[in-house]
Amino acid sequence: MNDKSVITGKTRIYGILGCPVTHSLSPVMQNAALHEAAVDAIYVPFCVEPDQLSAALSGLRALGVCGFNVTIPHKTVIMPLLDKLAPSAVQAGAVNTVVNQGGQLIGHNTDGDGLVRSLVKDLNCDVGGSKVVLVGAGGAARGALVALCRAGVKSVVVLNRTVAVAEGLIGSFRSSFPQIMLHGTALDGQSGQLVSDADLLINATSLGMAGEKIDGLTLALLPDHAKVYDMVYNPPLTPLLLDARNRGLQAANGLGMLVAQGELAFSLWHGIAPANDIMQKALSAFFNAAKA
Residues forming contacts to ligand NAP in the complex (CB under 6 A) are 111, 136-141, 160-162, 165, 204-207, 209, 231-233, 254, 257-258, 261
Q: Which is nearer to ligand NAP, 86 or 258 (CB)?
A: 258
> Smallest distance, Å, CB 141 to ligand NAP?
6
Least distance in angstroms from the C-beta of 234 to ligand NAP: 8
Cβ at position 174, least distance to ligand NAP in Å: 19
99 vs 259, which CB is nearer to ligand NAP?
Answer: 259
Amino acid at 137: A
| CB neighbours of residue 88 within 10 Å | 24
Residue from 4, 75, 121, 227 carrying the catalytic annotation: 75
CB contact set of 46 (below 8 Å; sequence gap of 6+): 15, 16, 17, 18, 21, 56, 60, 68
154 is catalytic: no
Q: How far is the CB of 121 from ligand NAP (least distance, A)?
A: 13
Of all residues in this chain, which one has the CB nearest to ligand NAP in the complex? 138
- Residue whose CB is less far from ligand NAP, 127 or 140: 140
Q: In the bound complex, what is the minimum distance in angstroms from residue 147's beta carbon to ligand NAP?
A: 12
Instruction: Tell me whether residue 67 or residue 136 sits nearer to ligand NAP (CB atom).
Output: 136
**For residues 138 and 152, which CB has a smaller minimum distance to ligand NAP in the complex?**
138
What residues are annotated to the active site?
75
